[in-house]
Amino acid sequence: MYRERRIARVTILGGGTAGWMTAAALSRSFGDSISITLLESEEIGTVGVGEATIPTIHWFNELIGLNEADFLRATKATFKLGIEFVDWTAPGQRYFHPFGQYGAALPGVAFHHRWLKARADGLDLPLSALSLATRLAVEGRFAKPQGDTRSILSTLGYAYHFDAALYAAYLRKLSEARGVRRIEGKLRDVERHADSGFVTALTTERGERLAADLFIDCSGFRALLIDGAMAEPFEDWSHWLPCDRAVAVPSARTAATTPYTRSTARAAGWQWRIPLQHRTGNGYVYASAQIGDDEAAATLLANLDGEALAAPRFLRFVAGMRRRPWRGNVVAIGLSSGFLEPLESTSIHLIQSGIAKLLTLFPERDCDPALADRFNQLFARDMDGIKDFLILHYHATPGRQDALWRHCQTMSLPPTLQARIAQYRRTGRLMLDSEELFREASWLAVLDGQGIAAEGYNPLADTLDPATNRAQVQQFAQVVARAAPTLPLHDEALAALLEPAA
Ligand code: FAD
């Protein structure tokens, strides 16, 4: 009886990163107790960018049982220790947003308050000196984190850069080996139940009928089920995040690969540089109100560090989200649910976070609306938090004069972000909720990196002996500086993992 209520068939519409990540995760988690079909159209194709990730990717890779060396080889991946931001606060200025943490976890007073107090007591030491990931990035080195908290390596975090098209192909192979049925073709119609409004089947242009109990909309910006069939509106955030276009081009690899993404501010947006084993990914994310496509492409091509390997490709988007990505028996995952530009490489994270929520809240055939409500609340919380973090980057740019930046410097901020900046300025506190994606180190890196200085610190830090506190903070920076040169160069670390074991 209970089993009859179980979902037996799932259909996924779309075979981009979102579609194949979902297929890989569901097939791994449910085995053959659920039959999974994926419909995609080679003619329509995928967005196919999306090459930089954040450390939460490890959770997903473990979930699907991925072997790291296989994955690195198959997707031409490199390691990522964070993002270097160039020219954001003002031309000529740069800072690093590292994965991992600043300082050590000492009892009582958080390390960054110890640092703020040491600075107030006269210690001239930049925040960056307290991050091993930052130091390794500067030196082009890489090491993986280690669990032992007595080791400086425990302060590291890492993610990957990879070729998105190869990643989707890799996940497809895994998924098909686990029984996922792939249908090539274009969607023609969506059938819905007259009373419940639930989707009952998709039909293809060739006439196949794909019936299921649950439908996952991974159709990208087209959002064919969540928007097309379920008419869930899109909340537009472009007044806060005005960039709405990107032009992307791969270029030849010229030197050693850097273990980080670079993001360089430009007149009408910013340019990414993502090193892979076989090429470098580049793109200019820009506001079409400020610059034309031709000028954006010319700017990008003039700022490559190797020969362009293809013609520039243009993409259009709008920042924003759907408040109810789960409606009835349709769950939108990926670009169909919303989009935040790639400044902090969060889209693939949002896909896996959608998958994690779906697994936790996996419904029965009736698709209990309480489960959908919960999913939608958690999704909105993720999106709102990331949105605030991105807006901070655009807003705290006092030395940039172009129209885009002027607009962002003076625009009214979401109240949550405004309050956070004010609190940090006054007391050095970051005021994070326990579930927020970007943690203390990330906010600290960007606030401090973009010139927002904390005037105070937690009064608890005044209970520390000033000289001892200064010495401890300084000592940590010395440990970082001594450890970095003992660790391998990034390409060596990568090669060691890629080589088959002797
Ligand atoms: P898509 O890739 O668009 O896939 C949609 C699928 O639906 C395709 O298979 C298509 O064939 C299918 N489809 C559509 N219509 C039909 C139809 N009628 N019939 C049948 N099939 C259909 N993310 C990151 O994490 N890091 C990054 O560095 C990053 N950089 C980005 C840079 C840019 C400029 C952009 C725009 C995005 C970036 N992203 C990044 C986001 C990332 O690219 C996407 O999150 C990811 O590719 C997922 O896309 P998707 O699978 O939702 O959609």
pLDDT over threshold 80, residue 1: no
Report the sign of the C-alpha dihedral through residues 55, 56, 58, 61, in that order: negative
pLDDT over threshold 70, residue 83: yes
Report the sign of the C-alpha dihedral through residues 340, 343, 344, 348, in that order: positive
Which string of DSSP letters, residue by residue, matches 276-319? -SS-EEEEEEE-TTTS-HHHHHHHHHHT-SS-B-S--EEEE---
pLDDT band of 267, cuts 50, 70, 90: very high
DSSP 459: G
Pocket test for ligand 1, best of 12, 13, 17, 352 (most atoms within 8 A of CB): 17
Instruction: Determine the Cα angle at 413 with ends 403 and 340, to 5°.
Output: 80
Q: State the helix-helix crossing angle for 68-75 and 164-177, rounded to 10 degrees.
A: 130
- Is 490 within 8 Å of 142 (Cβ atoms)? yes
Give the E-state strand segments of 117-260 in sequence order. 159-161, 181-184, 187-192, 199-204, 209-211, 214-217, 235-236, 245-251
Three-class SS state of 87? coil
Residues for the chain: how many in total? 502
Active site residue 80: yes
Pocket test for ligand 1, best of 11, 37, 44 (most atoms within 8 A of CB): 44
Phi and psi at 227, nearest 5°, equal -95, -55
pLDDT over threshold 90, residue 421: yes
Domain 3-77+162-238+322-384 falls in which CATH fold?
Answer: FAD/NAD(P)-binding domain (3.50.50)
- Is 271 within 8 Å of 264 (Cβ atoms)? yes
Half-sphere exposure of 251 (CA within 13 A, CB side): 19
Q: Please name the residue whose Cα sits nearest to atom 29 of ligand 1.
A: 50
Smallest Cα–Cα separation from 153: which of 486, 496, 497?
486
Domain boundaries, the chain: 3-77+162-238+322-384, 100-155+414-486, 245-316
Distance CA 12, CA 267 (A): 40
**Stretch 172-201: mean pLDDT, rounded?**
97
**Sequence-distant (≥ 6) Cβ neighbours of residue 459 within 8 angstroms:** none
pLDDT over threshold 60, residue 502: no
pLDDT over threshold 80, residue 500: no
- The pLDDT tens digits for 88-117 are 999 999 999 999 999 998 889 999 999 999
Distance CA 169, CA 42 (A): 12
Which string of DSSP letters, residue by residue, matches 125-145? --GGGG-HHHHHHHHTB----
Report the sign of the C-alpha dihedral through residues 389, 490, 349, 286, in that order: positive
pLDDT over threshold 80, residue 50: no
| pTM for this predicted structure | 0.96
Q: Please name the residue whose Cα sits nearest to atom 30 of ligand 1.
A: 50
Neighbours of 396 (CB within 10 A): 18
The amino acid sitting at 307 is: E
**Stretch 43-63: mean pLDDT, rounded?**
91
pLDDT at residue 2, as a whole number: 67
Half-sphere exposure of 202 (CA within 13 A, CB side): 31
Q: Which ligand 1 atom is the nearest neighbour of the CA of 21?
A: 51
Half-sphere exposure of 451 (CA within 13 A, CB side): 16
pLDDT at residue 501, as a whole number: 55
CA distances (Å), 498 to each of 49, 71, 90, 271, in order? Answer: 24, 10, 39, 29
pLDDT band of 149, cuts 50, 70, 90: confident
Name the active-site residue from 80, 117, 357, 387.
80
Smallest Cα–Cα separation from 428: which of 396, 397, 459, 464?
459
Burial 460-477 (b: 16+ CB within 10 A, else e): ebeebeeeebbebbeebb
pLDDT over threshold 60, residue 63: yes
pLDDT over threshold 70, residue 147: yes
Average pLDDT of the chain to the nearest whole number = 96
Centre of ligand 1 from the C-alpha of residue 102, in Å: 34
Smallest Cα–Cα separation from 212: which of 198, 223, 194, 225?
198
Which residues' Cβ are closer than 6 Å to ligand 1? 14-19, 39-41, 44-47, 49-53, 164, 186-187, 218-220, 222, 224, 246, 283, 315, 317, 334-335, 342, 345, 347-348
Neighbours of 361 (CB within 10 A): 17
Percent of the chain exceeding pLDDT 70 equals: 99
- Is 13 within 8 Å of 216 (Cβ atoms)? yes
